[in-house]
Amino acid sequence: MYHYIKQAWKNPNPKVLRERMIEWRKSGAQVKVEKPLRLDRARALGYKDKKGFVIIRIRLKRGGHRRPRPNKGRRSKRLHTRKNLKMNYKWIAEQRVQNKYKNLEILNSYLIGKDGMNYFFEVICVDPQRPEIKNDSTINWITKSENRKRVLRGLTSSARKSRGLRDKSPTNKSRPSRRAGQIPNPNSGRRYIIHN
């Protein structure tokens, strides 16, 4: 069954999808839904149809990833419009869901549609306080304290991709973080940390 759902989502019916997105635009930015729209993708990312799992549909404005072109003041000779892509849209969507539903943990998310103005994602959330989650050996890792607010610390799948941590080659310089090798420059005036 999941195979056929996956094949259907590779080439969705544009008329049905357009009608859905019209309804989604009229609804709120974050809506709790009963069932996932892409069941195959949700199951692959860890969703189970049991108490403790919550699906949130979120609408996210497109754009805003380009730095504005300076029109006065000191500026460079080359007035390029630079892209500022330190966070992808999926990571931003997960963070917004986490900030609204503070008692839930973000497991993963997936794209369900986009138009000229918006991206639409479904975010899989888990309630770590539920006994059904604590007793499930495949998902109870998310109840541990080190996984609290994991999306805000860049530990979800989309966040790790945005941070450049999918590539495990030795030439990848983004580990353990992008700023790991920079010299500290605190505001107090001490440019270098003195180790005794």
Sketch out the chain's domains with CATH numbers.
Answer: 6-66+82-162 (3.40.1120.10)
Q: pLDDT of 150-165, one tens digit each?
A: 999 999 999 999 888 8
DSSP lists the bridge partners of residue 100 as none
Q: pLDDT of 58-77, one tens digit each?
A: 999 988 777 777 777 776 77
Maximum Cα interatomic distance, the chain, rounded to a whole number of Å? 68
Q: Is the pTM of this model over 0.85?
A: no
In terms of DSSP H, where are the helices of the chain? 2-10, 14-26, 39-44, 89-100, 131-134, 157-162
**In contact, 152 and 102? CB cutoff 8 Å:** no
- For residue 73, the model assigns a pLDDT of 74
d(CA 39, CA 73): 53
Q: Calculate what percentage of the chain has a pLDDT beyond 70.
A: 85
Which residues, including other chains, have CB under 8 Å from residue 75's CB and lie 6 or more apart? none
E-strand ranges in the chain read: 30-33, 53-61, 105-114, 118-126
Phi, psi dihedrals of residue 23, rounded to the nearest 5°: -65, -40
